[in-house]
Structure 1
C-alpha cells in the first residue's frame, strides 16, 4: 500500500507541475520541454468547438500513431476502430462526452485522467494514462484541452502483482476459496508449511516437466532434471537464503516444459504469518519467457556486423520493414547472395583472405546503394542481403555490376556470386519471409554455369506449393495404399511374346485423380521418401509374382527400381533376401534396376552390395544406358547382367548414320560382355526393325503397351494365347535372322 501511495503522490506532483506551468503563462515550448516532455509520451491539443486535433509532441515510438487527421471526429473514429482495446472504447467515449466535459469544467477541476489499453506497434495492447487539462486562453469563449498520454503498462502490471501478493498475505482463505482464486489467475501458486506441501496449482504439472507427487516444486525441479543446468547457481543461491530464514525472495530461471523446451520463469516465495505451528510459505511462478528473451536480445544485439560494417540480421529485418513502411509507393526487392565455394577459399588461402573478400563485397555493395532508402546486411558467413528499390533494370544492373567487379577481384582464385531475388508484392510480408523466398529462388541456380540469378516468381511459387502439397500427404497416402502398382511389358519383338515387365508406380489421389511419377518421384529422391516408396513397390511386386505362381502361371522376371539412397543402408541385402524368402520366390525373378545417378555417390558401397546380392541370386539391370558420361566405364567396372538402352539412344540411332553406328556398336559391346539387352522407349515399327537389325530382340515401349494395372497385365500376359501381333516386315526380318517366331514357345532366358 505504501508503494501505491507513493505512486499517487508522484502522479499528483507531475500533474500539478504541469498545471502550474500552464497557469503562470510561460511560453508553450518551454513548458512542454521543461515538464510535460519528461512525463508524457504524446501530447495533443483538442478543440471540440472547431472539431480540430493537433499533435504537439511525440516522445516514443511504442504506439501506432493516429493517421495525422486534424478532425476530432475522425480521430475518435480511428481510435475506436483501430487504436484502443475494444473493451475500453466505451469508457473512452464516455470520458469525452459533452455532458461529462461540461460538468468537469463547471467544477473547476484542474485535470482529469482515464486509463485504457492502446495498441502498440508490435500489435500488443499496453496500458496508457490519458490526462486532460482544460485551458481557456484570453479572447476565447470556450475551453480547449491539452491531452497528455503516458505509458503506464509496467506500473499497472507491477501494481497488479503487488496487489495480488498483498491480498495473499493479508487474507487467510479457506482451502476451496483459496484454490478458486489462484487457479483463475495467470500466476501459478504452490504453498507449503515446513517441509510439507499444502497446495499446488494443477496447471504447474500441466506446464512443467517433472513428477509432482507431493514433493515441494523446488525438490521436483532439482531431482527430475527440470531445472536448466546453467541456472543452478541462481537456484541454489535463492534456496540458501530461504534456508537461512530470509522470508521472501525471487529468482528468474529456466525450467523445462512438458514438450522439452526450456522457458524463463520468475519464481518468488513469501512467508505467511498465521497462528498455526510451523513456517508457512507461498510460492508463485510466472512465465516471463517472452519478456526475458526480448530483454536478452536487446542487450546482446549490436546493430552492425563488426567485420563488414553491414547491418546484422535482426537489424536488417527491422530496417527493411521500416523502409517499406516509409516508402509505400516505391517498388522494392530483397536480393540475397553468397560466394560460390567460399569455404574452399578460406581453406586454401586462409581466413584472413576470406575476411578481406567479405569486406570488399561489403564496400562494393555500399557503393551501389542509397543509404537513405535502401538497406544492406551480412546475414551470416558469406551470405549477404540487400533491400533495393527500383524496377527490374535497376535490380539487374546491381547484379551485373557487382558480378563483373568481383570477377576481377583476384588473380589467384575466381569469385562468383549467386543471387536470389524476391520482389516485394505485399508489404505486410515479414522481412525474414522475403529473405527466405529469395533464398528459395537462389537455390534453383546455385552451382549453375548458365545463370547466376533467379527470381522468386509465380512459377517457382507454384512449384514449391505443389511440392509442399505432395510432401504434406505422402505418408498418409502410403498408409492408405493410394500408390498403385503398374507393370509395363518387355516384349520379345520377333515373336510378340511378353518375356518380362517393369514395375512402375502411380499415385491414385482421392481428389486429384491419377498422378504420374514425374510429379512426385524427383521430390521423393530429394527428401528421402523414395526409400519407403521403393520398398512398398518391391513388396507389391513380390505379391504379384507369388500370386502368378500360385495360379499355375509360368512367372517372368519383373524389374524394380533401386534408388541410390538404398546403398547407404547396410541391411539392403538382408532386406531383399528376407522379402523374397517371405513370398518363397526364386531371387532372379526380382530384377534390380539402377540408374546411373546411383553410381557416383559411393561406388565402393555400391559394388560391395551388388556382389553380395548377386551371390544371393539377384540380377542387376543398368537403367537409362546412354544418358550419362560414364556409361562405358560403368559397363567395365560394375557387375551388371542386363543393359537397358535409353529411349533417346534409340530415337537418335534411327535418325542419322552416326547414331546408327553408336547404337550397333553399343549393342555388340554389351553382347561381348555377356549382357542381355532391353531397349526402352520403342514407339514405332522403324524403332523395332532397327533394334532387331542391331541384334537387340527385347523391347519396352508404347509401340507394344503402355504401363498396365495388375489385373490388365495378368490378362495380357497369362490368359491371352498371344500378346502382340508381329508386323509382317518385322516377322520377315526375324525369320531371316533365325530368331524365335510367334508360333514358337515363349522365350524366357532372363
Structure 2
C-alpha cells in the first residue's frame, strides 16, 4: 500500500487530493476482495455441483469428502463418509502416493462402470478421486472390439471400399477364399464388382440398386488368384454419414460351390432316373414339349418310340431284383448306342423306356432305329453268370400325323406298343387310327374302373360247391361282377386284365375279400356253418408286400374264422417265384386259411412242385371237363390228376360241371367236390341263400 504521509505540512488542496486517492484505493481493494470472495465461493461450489463423482480420501482409503454425485457410488459400495473404500482401491492409492503420479482405476458401481483419476494433494497425505461414467463408452469399445474380431475371424470374405469404390481393407477370410493378399487389392477397384467395366449388366444393376436402395445382394461368379472360377453369394451395403452422404461400401461374400453342387445333384435327381441315369418322365415330357415346338416352328417331323421289355417280370421273379436292375442298366446303354446324341432316351419307370427322334423324314427313320434296337437286344446279355435275352416291344407314333401334343403322341405310341405285344412280342408296330380307337376305349374303361369302386358298382355272386358222395353243399365261391351304371353287367374277362395292368386289382381285390368275409360271417351267425367261401387272388395281389397283413386285418375286423376262407391261386402265379410263393403259402396256412390251386392242369402240373407248397385243394380246369367222358385224352388227364391228388391227400374240386355224365364221371373217380351250372349259376347273396334254403328244405 503506497504511503500518503508527507514531511511538509500539506496545503488544503493537497490534503484533499490525498484523501481522494485513499478513497479510490480503498474502493478498489474492497472490489478486489469481493471478486476474490466470489471466486472462492464459486470454486467451493464446484465439487458440490459437479455432476461427476469427486472424493477426497486418505492413503488408507478413508473417505474424507464425497460430493453429491459420489453418494450413489458409495451406496453401491455399501460405504459412507468417514468409512473406507473397498479393498480393491488400496493398491492403486499407495502407488499414487509412492510415485507421486496420477493413477487410473476402473471400478464397477451397480450397473455402471466408472474410470477414476487418482491425484495426490500436495504434501497433505490425501488424495483426490475424480470419476467419469464410462459405461456407454465401454459398450461402444466392446462393440468395436467385437466387430474387429468378427472382421478378423469371419469365415466370410469382407471388403471395405471408400465412396469411389476403392478398396481400403479386406479381412483374412477374403484372402483365404480368393487367394489374394490384402496388399494386392487395396487401393484398387474391387475384383468382386468389376467396377472398372462400367457397361456390364451386373455393374449397372449393382450401381442402380446401391444408389436407390443402399444395398444389393445376389449370386455371381468370380475368379480366384489361380484363375479358378467359382460362385459366391455377395451382399453389398452403402454406409452414409450424418449428412446422408455415402462414405463407404461394405461387401461380404461366401463361397457357395458346395451349395451349387448339392443343388445340381438335387436337380439332376429330380429329372433323372436313379438307376440308369436316363432322363425321367418329368424331363422327357419337357424335352418332348420343346421338340414339338421346334418341329412346328421349322415344319419338321419327329417320332416317339414307346418300349416295354418282354418278360422282364420273369427275370425279376426268377433271378432277383439285383439282376433285374443290371438288365435295365444294360438295356439303357444299348438304347443310347442305337440313337443319335440329339435324340432323347428316357426311362418312365419299371421296364418302360421311351425315345424322342428329332428331325425324321418319315416313318422309315424310326423303323430303322426300332430294327437296330431289336437287333441289339436280340443278342444275349451276360449278367452275374446268367445269359439273358431281353426282348422288347416297340410302339411308334409320328408328329404331326399321330398327334400334335405330348399326351396324344404318348398315347399313340403306347397303343402301338400294346399292338406289337399282341403280334408276338419282340416286335415293333406303327400307330394306326384303329389303335387309337382301342386306346381310347381302354382309357375310358380304366376311368370307369376307378369310378366303379367309388360308386359301389361292384357286387359279388356266389356259386355253390357240392360234395359228390353226399350231394351236400360244402362251400361257395365268391365271383366278382361289375354292374356298370350304363352298360349293365360286364363280364370279369373284360375288365380283370385291365385292372391287373393298372394296379387297380389291389383295391378291387381288397373289396372282394372284405365283402366275401363279411357275408360269410353273416351267414355263419345265421346258422349256415357249411358255407366257407373261396376267393380268387390275382397274381398282382399274391405278389403284393402287404398281402398277409391285409388278410389278417380283414379276418380280425370281420370276425370270420380263418378256416372259413379259402384262397384260390393259379398255377402260373405260384410258379413265377417258387421260393417266395412257398413262404407266403406256408404263412397263410399257419394263419388257418386254406389254399386252392386254381386252373390245375393248364400250367406246370408238377408233382414235385406240389409237394413244396401248402396246398389243400386242386381245382381241375373246366377245359378238361367239356368233352368228358367221351374224349379219351381228357379222361386220362382227369384220372391222372385225381390219382395224383389222392396220393398226396389233397382234395379235388371240378369246376364247370354242366351235364349229368360229367357229374357221374367225377363221382365214380372219387372227385371230392364239384361246382357248375348243373347245380346253380353264380347268384347274388340274397338269391343264393334262398337257393340254399330251398335245396336243404
TM-score normalised according to structure 1 size: 0.46
**Larger Rg belongs to:** 2
